[in-house]
């Protein structure tokens, strides 16, 4: 009897090819799409882009082509609580949250994985560009980058641990995007040429500023733009409209370009400065997850990435009590953004990562609990 694997299907080419590969390998494959929360706005789409009617139909057509069952799993309520509400809380507190991290931690690799195991599957498979292998010492699993460095998604997968990796499959992790497209064409999958979507999936029009004004108007109100010593240089439109390193949209006339250095929710102030003032060589990360299951017992040298598509820089990481870590880079980085993740690598292996804290205060409890 063939082993059963649940495949998280999105209606896109990556998850479709992942499902096709598993069918070809002889597994009993079940396709599942998550029904996620989306805001309802007059005149705007009322479905989450990750599970729109078009996406559902595309996934269903792929499932029919492959001869596998396909189901929708409704997780609208937990998605709103665990992902959307944290997104709102992050911007309201003056940080820039990454909702994909919360979706992976609380929805995809928690609720969906639990669902897969509950229906007798040995694993949950997704269309992520990443890989899993046994650790060289034979104890536990390692999370590896995808072979296609341009598509590697290990950054947003750093939240998984040993329990998850034991039941996860990434069937396309050893392929390039071009190879995935070619396989889709060979198998005549109806989504072979489908374009990718990069926008926030739960915001009706993709405009997060308008979204914050609608769902958290108390967090969007004008305040001062100040320099490091507190001189008022102008007026901002609301803290959620700004992020670290931002240059455009400040509306300030100055002798040299000014950049956002920090957001101060206590004063409702945007702190700006020159390019020379922007950047830091160190940060503290909260809610650090070590993929191996426990932190190293000493300071280690890694390469670290502070943005999903950012470059990597050599750094020293020192574990701290309370699932935190101090990170010191070999050179200053201009775009260290509280609320985003810093992720650690040793060669091809993703060691883990955590959420970047503001330098002067902890992250809100809602983002780290």
Alpha-carbon span 179 to 175, nearest angstrom: 6
pLDDT digits (tens, 9 = 90+) for 308-321: 988 999 999 999 99
Report the predicted TM-score, pTM, of the whole model to 2 decimal places.
0.93
Q: Is the pLDDT of residue 198 over 70?
A: no
Identify the band that residue 332 occupies on the pLDDT scale cut at 50, 70 and 90: very high
Catalytic residues: 103, 201
pLDDT digits (tens, 9 = 90+) for 65-119: 999 999 999 999 999 999 999 999 999 999 999 999 999 999 999 999 999 999 9
248/61: higher pLDDT: 61
Mean pLDDT, the chain, integer: 94
pLDDT digits (tens, 9 = 90+) for 261-272: 999 999 999 999
Alpha-carbon span 290 to 165, nearest angstrom: 12
The tokens describing 214, both together, are 């609608």
Under the phi-then-psi rule, with left for phi > 0, alpha for psi from -120 to 50, and beta for the rest, what region is 113? alpha
Pairing of strands 259-264, 300-305: unpaired
Alpha-carbon span 87 to 223, nearest angstrom: 22
Identify the band that residue 145 occupies on the pLDDT scale cut at 50, 70 and 90: very high
- The pLDDT of residue 45: 64
Alpha-carbon span 182 to 167, nearest angstrom: 28
- State the DSSP H helix or E strand holding residue 16, giving kind and residue range, or none if neither: helix 13-24
pLDDT digits (tens, 9 = 90+) for 248-259: 889 888 888 999
Quickly list DSSP for 35-53: E------TTS--S-GGG-H
């Amino acid at each position: 009897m063939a082993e059963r694997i649940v495949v998280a299907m999105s209606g896109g080419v990556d998850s479709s090819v992942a499902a096709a590969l598993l069918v070809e390998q002889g597994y009993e494959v079940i396709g599942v799409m998550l029904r996620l929360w989306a805001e309802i706005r007059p005149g705007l789409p009322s479905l989450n882009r990750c599970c729109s009617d078009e996406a559902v139909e595309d996934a269903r057509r792929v499932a029919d082509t492959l001869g596998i069952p396909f189901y929708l799993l409704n997780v609208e309520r937990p998605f709103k609580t665990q992902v959307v509400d944290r997104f709102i809380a992050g911007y309201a507190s003056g940080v820039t949250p990454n909702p994909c991290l919360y979706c992976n931690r609380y929805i995809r690799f928690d609720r969906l994985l639990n669902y897969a195991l509950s229906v007798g599957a040995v694993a949950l498979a997704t269309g992520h560009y990443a890989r899993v292998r046994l650790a060289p010492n034979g104890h536990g699993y390692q999370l590896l980058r995808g072979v296609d460095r341009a598509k590697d998604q290990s950054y947003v997968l750093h939240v998984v641990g040993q329990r998850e990796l034991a039941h996860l499959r990434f069937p396309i992790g050893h392929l390039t995007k071009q190879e995935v497209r070619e396989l889709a064409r060979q198998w005549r999958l109806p989504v072979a040429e489908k374009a990718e979507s990069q926008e926030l999936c739960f915001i009706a029009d993709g405009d997060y500023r308008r979204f914050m004004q609608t769902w958290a108007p108390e967090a969007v109100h004008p305040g001062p733009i100040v320099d490091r010593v507190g001189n008022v240089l102008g007026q901002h439109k609301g803290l959620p409209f700004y992020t670290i390193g931002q240059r455009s949209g400040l509306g300030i006339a100055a002798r040299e370009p000014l950049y956002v250095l920090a957001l101060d929710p206590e004063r409702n102030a945007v702190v700006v400065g020159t390019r020379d003032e922007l950047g830091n060589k160190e940060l503290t990360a909260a809610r650090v997850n070590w993929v191996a299951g426990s932190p190293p017992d000493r300071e280690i040298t890694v390469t670290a990435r502070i943005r999903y598509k950012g470059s990597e820089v050599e750094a020293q990481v020192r574990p701290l009590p309370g699932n935190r870590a101090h990170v010191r880079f070999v050179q200053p980085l201009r775009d260290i953004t509280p609320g985003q993740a810093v992720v650690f690598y040793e060669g091809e292996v993703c060691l883990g990562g955590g959420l970047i804290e503001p330098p002067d205060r902890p992250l809100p409890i809602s983002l780290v609990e």
